[in-house]
Amino acid sequence: MDDIEKHKNWLKVLALADEALKRKLAAAKALDLGWGGISTVTRITGMSPTTIRKGIQELDDLENLEQTKGIRKPGGGRKRTDIKNPKIRK
């Protein structure tokens, strides 16, 4: 509980981020914490260590740091309800 209280403000900012930015913020925090950083960030965020490691790789690859147009690939995500079930549309 001490870790969560210590990083309370950082967790508030993390809650506002999309999934790609969350991954990079968690990676940056883990790197800032140094040894044991990945396990600490995993404990306070509930994120997978694999996800944090992926974020670290993304931070290392400076070419991919530019903002992307979308988070998901085209066609990804949930389909609109009115398309899936036309009876709902009035």
Tokens standing for residue 24: 């990079």
Q: Each residue of 14-68: pLDDT tens digit?
A: 888 888 888 999 999 999 989 999 999 999 989 999 999 999 998 888 665 565 5
Mapping DSSP to helix (H, G, I), strand (E, B) and coil, where does residue 51 land?
helix
pTM of the model: 0.66
User: What is the number of other CB atoms lying within 10 angstroms of the CB of residue 71?
Assistant: 11
